[in-house]
Every structure is written in C-alpha cells, then in structure tokens.
Amino acid sequence: MLESYEASLDAGLTTNKEIRRFKIAINTACPLRCEYCFIDKDSGEVVPWAVVQSLVRFMLSSPGQVKKLLIYGGEPFLKFELVREVALFARSEAVKAGKDLDLSICTSAALPLKVGWLEFLAEQRFFLSVSMDGDEETHDKRRVDTAGKGSWKRMLPNLPLVFDTIGKRRAMAIQCVHPDNVEKMLSNFQTLVGLGFENVEVEVIHGFEWVNKKHLFRPMMQKVLDWAWAEAQEGRFRFVVCSLVPLMLKEGILLEDMCPFHSSMECYPDGKYSFYPFAFVDWEGRKRSAVGGAVDGVAERWRHCSFDKDSDTCKNCTSEYYRNPMVNEGNDPYRWRTEMARAFMDKVALAARSDARMKDYLREAVIRCRIS
Ligand code: SF4
C-alpha cells in the first residue's frame, strides 16, 4: 500500500484525470465465435483478483462523482461467482470513496441465464446489455457458435427473463452495424424493439472495410432517429445511443471527445489497460499497445498529464496510439453516429421546453442514460 496520494500518482495507481467509465473483461471464454470479436476465446484467461482490486481503486481515485464499471468477457456469465465478487467489492469500495457507482454487464445471452443470477444483478441495480444485431438473418451471419451455427434462436428464451427481472429500463441491446448490414439499420432497430428492447445502442463495427458503404451510414442513422422521434410523439420510449445523454453537458462532451481516460479505458484479463476499441480489432496489437496495467500502474506517459483541450499534448494524445489502420476503419461512421445522436438529444432538449411528450422522453433519457 502506497502511503501518499503523490506516491500513488507517481506509481500510476491513482489518477488525476476523470474516468467516467471503465470496461473490464473478466474472462476470455465464450460459447460464441462472433466474426468481429478478436478476443482469444481459447486462451482460458481469467482476471486475477489483484487486478480487480487495483483497477477498482484506480477508477474510484479519479475525480468526478459518478463512475461506471462495465463487466465484459468473453462471456462473463460463465464466471458468475466472479461477477458477484467484483460487484460486491466495487460497491463497498465506492461507499468508502464516497462515489456513486453504476454497474453494468454485457452478455451474448447465448447460454441459459439463471433466474438467481439475474435476481442478484437486479438487487445490485445492474444494467444489462445484450449483444444482438437485429433480425435472425443479420445476427446469425456473424454471431455464430463454435460449430458455425447462428445464435439468434438460443438467445430468445433469455429475453423475457431479462425484461421481467432486470426491467426494460435497465436492459439494452447493442446493435452492431457492419458495412454489410448498414442498409438494414432501421429494420434491425425495429426488430430489437419488437423483441422488447426499448434501449438500443447503435454501435459501429471497426476493423472492416467501410469505404464502399460509408455513404449509406448517415441516411440510415437519420431514419432510425426520425423513427425514434415519431415513437416518442406517440408516448413510446425508444433510445438510440443511450451513452450520449450525460454528454449533453458541455464539459462532458470535451472530455469524451478528447481524453481517452474519460470513457475509453479498458482492462483485459491479463491486467493490461487499453483504449477502446482494441479488443474488437486486433488482440495481439492490443497487447503491444497496452497503456500500462492494473498492477504496474498506468504507463508513465499518462501519469501526470491533465486535460487541456488547447494543449498539443492532449491534441496528440492518441495520435500514435491507433497505429493499426484497421482500427481506423469505421472511425467516420462512429463519429457521424455520435454527432447525429447528440444533435438528436439537443433537439429533444429544445422541444422539451414546450412539448410535454418530449419532456417525458428527456426525463426517461436521463434515467436510462446511465446504462451504457
Ligand atoms: S494527454 Fe490530455 S487527453 Fe491524453 S490522457 Fe492526458 S489529459 Fe487526457
């Protein structure tokens, strides 16, 4: 245990930069072999407890009142006892640190989810995200099991259980948009709503060729947003990119856009830290590009910097980090998605001043936004 704040900062085990959310992949095993996931599912890695302790304390040491710990895998439900221990530990540390903690878990829902697991998550006020791309054809094209069989049908029995136990406000689908399915963005969004999801996070797949399909992204995203608007006018809540709602605050937008500590921190079972979205692009490259780790501390370069949007250090912070050109595939659609969703929420906020339905929508958004 290091004695002073300064010593801990020097060692990279405490940070002076706000971390709003931190993703931890607790294991690598998964029943699926989705085409766009590069985690080595056969490596058998499970996060050591020392990494969990150090990461949780690192996150809670950062400025800012609200923190979100997102539990990923592999498939984290394969290690549910560890999920339980991580949640209870993080909760107790957050109480000691005087911080508000949100917990979230992401699953492929390709294994039968036990009611007892979901009840624990509900008690701990977890948000739960299901990776589900849309209709059966879209989903099964890339989300396959070890035998190459699509996983859509085996997920279905889990959905009512999730909605009944976790509740629709805290459940979300992650709709991965790939260059091959961008034309179906609206119909896939509607399929997910039809299955019971009210919160959908439109996610852009990186690492695949977007060049011939990029032009379709914005018109399709606009159709999704227009549909969500029309639904809201009928009193039905559908949320498109929930993670952006808190970023309507100006400072949040700046931090989100520029400082990778704010929303892009990830940790893998080997205890190494990375910035989003390495695991989904290049597993070996991620290892080479680690930005320190939970046990040895964040890398020297990022120990003492502090955010200044006008400084060259911050402007160039990640320019050498994303060296794999495949990481950059998808950057434009990702940026457009984010800009358009922000503009949508600005429009909602403006309308909410005089439109009671949009006021309701905004109120719901503020509750559900903590989901991402
Ligand atoms: S250099 Fe600036 S943008 Fe990068 S981590 Fe440090 S404070 Fe954040």
Task: Identify the CATH number of the domain in which residue 138 sits.
Answer: 3.20.20.70
In sign, the C-alpha dihedral spanning 156, 157, 159, 160 is: positive
What pTM did the predictor assign?
Answer: 0.91
**How many structural domains is the chain composed of?**
1
Q: What's the domain range around 363?
A: 5-371
- C-alpha of residue 103 to centroid of ligand 1, in Å: 25
Q: Which residues pair with 272 in a beta bridge?
A: 293
- Cis bond upstream, residue 293 (ω within 30): no
Tell which wins on pLDDT, 193 or 289.
193
% pLDDT > 90, the chain: 66
Q: Residue 315: is its pLDDT beyond 90?
A: no
- DSSP-derived letter for residue 289 is T
Per-residue pLDDT band for 371 (boundaries 50, 70, 90) equals very low
Kindly report the average pLDDT of the chain as a whole number: 89
Q: What is the pLDDT of residue 352?
A: 92
**Which residue, by CA, sits nearest to atom 1 of ligand 1?**
314
Q: Return the SS3 of 199.
A: strand
Mean pLDDT, residues 47-57: 97
Mutate-to-test residue for ligand 1 from 317, 319, 320, 321, highest number of ligand atoms within 8 A of CB: 317
Confidence class for position 366, pLDDT limits 50, 70, 90: confident
Determine the 3-state secondary structure of 124 from DSSP: coil
For 176, residues 6+ apart whose C-beta sits below 8 A from its C-beta are 36, 131, 133, 142, 203, 204, 205
Q: How confident is the model at residue 60 (pLDDT cuts 50, 70, 90)?
A: very high
Residue nearest to atom 5 of ligand 1 (CA): 259
Between CA 203 and CA 212 the distance in angstroms is 19
Q: What is the pLDDT of residues 251-280, one digit of tens each?
A: 556 666 688 898 889 999 999 998 876 555
Q: What's the pLDDT score for residue 128?
A: 96
Atom of ligand 1 nearest to the CA of 317: 4
Q: Tell me, what's the pLDDT at 209? A: 80
| 256 C-alpha to ligand 1 centroid (Å) | 11
Residue 257 CA to residue 318 CA, distance in Å, equals: 11
Q: pLDDT for 137-177, tens place per residue?
A: 999 999 999 999 999 999 999 999 999 999 999 999 999 99
Residue nearest to atom 8 of ligand 1 (CA): 259
The count of C-alpha atoms lying within 13 angstroms of the C-alpha of 14, restricted to the half-sphere facing its C-beta, is: 14
| Nearest residue (CA) to ligand 1, atom 7 | 307
pLDDT of 181 > 50? The answer is yes
Q: Is the pLDDT of residue 294 over 50?
A: yes
Q: Look at residue 289 in the predicted model and tell me its pLDDT.
A: 65
Three-class SS state of 273? strand
b/e string for 61-84 if b means 16 or more Cβ within 10 A?
bbebeebbbbbbbbbbbbbbebbe
Whose C-alpha lies nearest to ligand 1, atom 6? 305
At residue 241, the pLDDT reads: 73
What is the reported pLDDT for 217?
95
Q: For position 139, what pLDDT does the model report?
A: 96
70-74, 211-215, 220-224: which range is least confident on average? 211-215
Within 10 angstroms of residue 181's Cβ, the number of other Cβ atoms is 23
19 CA to centre of ligand 1 in angstroms: 11
- Ligand 1 contacts (CB < 6 A) are 17, 258-261, 302, 305-307, 313-314, 317
The residue ranking higher by pLDDT, 334 or 95, is 95
DSSP helix/strand/coil, 25: strand
- Asked if pLDDT for residue 108 goes beyond 50, the answer is yes
**Ligand 1 pocket test, candidate residues 62, 313, 318, most atoms within 8 A of CB:** 313
**pLDDT value, residue 232:** 94
Least confident of 129-133, 180-184, 252-256, 301-305: 252-256
- Looking at residue 267, its pLDDT comes to 93
Residue 372 pLDDT class (50, 70, 90 cuts): very low
pLDDT at 91 over 70: yes
Q: How far is the CA of 295 from the centre of ligand 1 (A)?
A: 21
